[in-house]
Amino acid sequence: MEYYLQLFINGLVVGGIYSLVALGFVVIYKATKVVNFAQGELVMAGAYICFALTVQFNIPFLWAFLLTLAFSVLLGLAIERMVLRPLIGEEHISVIMVTVGMSSVLKSLVQLFWGTQIRVYPQVLPTEPVVIAGLPVAPVYLAAFALSAVLFAIFSVFFKYSRTGIAMRATAFDQQAAQSMGIGIKNIFAMSWCIACVVSAVGGVILGNINGINSQLGHLGLKVFPAVILGGLDSLLGAALGGLIIGVLENVCDGAARQLFGLGGFREVAAFIILVVILMIKPYGLFGTKEIERV
Amino acid sequence: MNAGSTVNEVLKVENLEVVYNDVVLVLKGLSLACPKGEITALLGANGAGKSTTLKAISGLLECEDGEVTDGSVIYQGEPIQHLIPEKIVRKGIFQVMEGRRIFEDLTVEENLRCGAFTRPRSEIAGGLEKVYDYFPRLRERRKQLAGYMSGGEQQMCAIGRAIMARPQLLLLDEPSLGLAPLLVEEIFDIVKRINSVEGVTVLLVEQNARAALSVAGRGYIMENGRVVMEGKAADLLGNPDVQEFYLGMGHGGDRRSYRDVKHYRRRKRWLG
C-alpha cells in the first residue's frame, strides 16, 4: 500500500508539472486556437536557460530563476513577433505546422549550445525528506507542487476577473468582434505566448531540480496532450486536473505493471492509452466547451 | 449631390473604394455624411455594400482581406481610413456588427465589460448600471452565459456593449436581423433613446427600410457600391420608387401593365 501511496505522490508532483505546461498550452489555444506543438520545447528552453545561469554563470538560484522568467517573456514576444505575426489571417493549420517546425529549431538550438548529455542542477532545497502522513516526501516535490498550485490560482483569477484576461477570452471566441471592441488582438496574442513561455519555463526549472535535464526534455510536450485533451482543450481547470490525473495514473499504472507483471517502461505509454480512451468516451474532455446550441 | 456644411458633420465618407482580395471591387466611390447628433440610415438590397461601408469606417475590413483603395473616411475633420480598429474605437467610433457577434462563452456582464475595454476602469460600474437601466432583462441575466440567451437578448447585449464604450459615433449593422416585429420596435426605440439621451450620432444600416426611416433624420440608398439616392427620411418614405422597391407597396396597381416598360427601366436602375 505504501508503495502505491508513494507512486501517487510522485504522480501528483509530475502531474503538477504537466498541469503547468498544459496551462501554457491551453492559454495559447484559448486565445489563438493554435495547438502549440512546441510547448515541450519551451519547457526545455526555460530549463536550459536557468541551468546556464546557475551553473555556467554562477548566479544564485533565486535570481537565475527570476531572470529565466524575464527571458521567457522575451522569448514569447520574439516567437509571436517573428514567427506568428506574419501568419495572422492564415489558416490555423499553417500556424500549427509552424509550431512543429519551431519545436525542431528550439531543440537543435539547445543541442547546439549544451549538447545532448544529462545536466544536473545544483541542489537548492534541503534533501532531508519531510514526513507527511507517515510518508517521506522530498522538499523539492513539495515546492514543485506548491508552485504549480500558486501559479494556477493566479491565472484563474486573471482570466476570470482582470480586464486583459476577459479580453483574452473574448478574442479566443471571436477575433473580429474583439477587434470591434477596441481590443488589440496582436497584443493579446503576444501576451498568450508570453504566459505560455513563462509557465513552461517554471515547469522546466522544477523538472531540472528533480531529475536533471537533457535535450529529450521536449518529449514532455507530448505527454501534455493527454492532459489537455482529458481536461478539455480550452479549460484552465481542465488543464489543472487533467495534468494531475495523467501524472497520477501513469505513475500508478507503471508501478502496477512493474509489480504485477514485471513490465518496465509502461509509464511512457500509459498516458496515450488513456488519451485514446478519453477521445472515445468524452471527446470534449471533462471541462471543454461544447458548442452552445440555443433552442 | 448635396455637399452640405461640413461644420457639424461627425463623419464624412468621400468617394470610398473598397477592394476585397485585391480583386473584387465592392464600394465604387461611395460618399455619405453623418450630421452630428442625428440618426442616418443607410439602406439597400443584399450585397449593395452596406456592411462593407461600416467596416471600412471602423477599420474591421483588415481581417477580411478587404482594403480601402481610394477615397477617404473623415471623422471629426481627421482622415481615419488607414488606422487600426483599436485606434478607431479609442477615437469614439463603435460598431455593433451584423449578427450580434456576442462572446457566447462569456457571461453577459463580461461581454459588457469587453465593450468598455478602451474606457477607464472607473467608468465600468456606472456604465453597467446604465446598460441595465436600458435593458432590465440583462440585469436579471448578468451572470448567465451570453450564448444561452435569446436572439433579442443577445442584440440587447450587443447594443449594451456599445453603450459601455461611450462612443460619439455608433455604427449599427442590421439590429433588426432575425428579431420578431415587436422586438424590432423595442430595439429601435432604444436606439432612438441612446441617440437623444446620450447624444450619440448613429449610422444605421438596415434591410428593414420602414423601421429605419421612421427613426432616422436622413437616409441614403445604396446599390452596387454607390449611393443612388439620398434625402430626408420623410422624403424618402414618400418617394414612389422607394415605396415600390423597398417598402413593398405596389405602386400603380392595375395600371402597371400600361407602364410596364417604364417600370422595368426603373426597376433595373434600382436592382442593378
Amino acid at B144: Q
Q: B165 vs A182: CB contact, 8 Å cut-off?
A: yes
Give ipTM to 2 decimals.
0.85
Per-residue pLDDT for A109 more than 70? yes
Contacts with B145 from chain A: Cβ below 8 Å: 292
B90 touches chain A (CB under 8 A): yes
Per-residue pLDDT for B4 more than 50? no
Question: Distance from B43 to chain A by nearest Cα, in Å?
Answer: 22
Q: B105 vs A169: CB contact, 8 Å cut-off?
A: yes
As a CATH number, domain A2-281 is 1.10.3470
Per-residue pLDDT for A201 more than 70? yes
Per-residue pLDDT for A288 more than 80? no
Backbone angles phi, psi at B19, to 5 degrees: -120, 130
Parallel, antiparallel, or unpaired: how do β-strands B9-20 and B24-35 relate? Answer: antiparallel
- Model confidence pLDDT, tens digit, residues A224-244: 888 888 888 878 888 888 899
Q: Place A119 in a pLDDT band, splitting at 50, 70 and 90.
A: confident
CA gap A44, A76 in Å, rounded: 14
Q: What is the pLDDT of residue A295?
A: 54
The stretch B171-182 carries a mean pLDDT of 90
Query: Which of A140-167 are b and which e, b meaning 16 or more Cβ less than 10 Å from the residue's Cβ?
Result: bbbbbbebbeebbeebeebbeeeeebbb
Q: What is the pLDDT of residue B254?
A: 44
Domain ranges of chain A: 2-281
**Mean of per-residue pLDDT scores for chain B:** 87
Q: What is the pLDDT of residue A228?
A: 87
Question: Distance from A177 to chain B by nearest Cα, in Å?
Answer: 6
Contacts with B104 from chain A: Cβ below 8 Å: 173, 292
Query: Which of A202-224 are b and which e, b meaning 16 or more Cβ less than 10 Å from the residue's Cβ?
Result: bbbbbbbbbeebbbebbebbebb
pLDDT: which is higher, B53 or B21: B53
Q: How far is CA A254 from CA A5, A12, A144, in A?
A: 13, 14, 22
Nearest CA in chain B to A178: B114
B94 touches chain A (CB under 8 A): yes
- Model confidence pLDDT, tens digit, residues A147-167: 889 998 998 899 899 999 999
Contacts with B117 from chain A: Cβ below 8 Å: 163, 167, 181-183
Contact A87, A193 (CB under 8 A): no
What's the CA dihedral at B127, B147, A234, A67 to 10 degrees? Answer: -10
Which cell numbers in the block locate residue A149? 498550485
Q: Place B213 in a pLDDT band, splitting at 50, 70 and 90.
A: very high
The stretch A55-64 carries a mean pLDDT of 90
- Model confidence pLDDT, tens digit, residues B112-130: 999 999 999 999 999 999 9
Q: B121 vs A163: CB contact, 8 Å cut-off?
A: yes
CA gap B84, A47 in Å, rounded: 38
Cross-chain CB nearest to B97 (options A166, A177, A289): A177
Nearest CA in chain A to B147: A292
B125 touches chain A (CB under 8 A): no
Backbone angles phi, psi at A27, to 5 degrees: -60, -45
CA gap A9, A248 in Å, rounded: 8
Q: B147 vs A181: CB contact, 8 Å cut-off?
A: no
Per-residue pLDDT for A143 more than 90? no
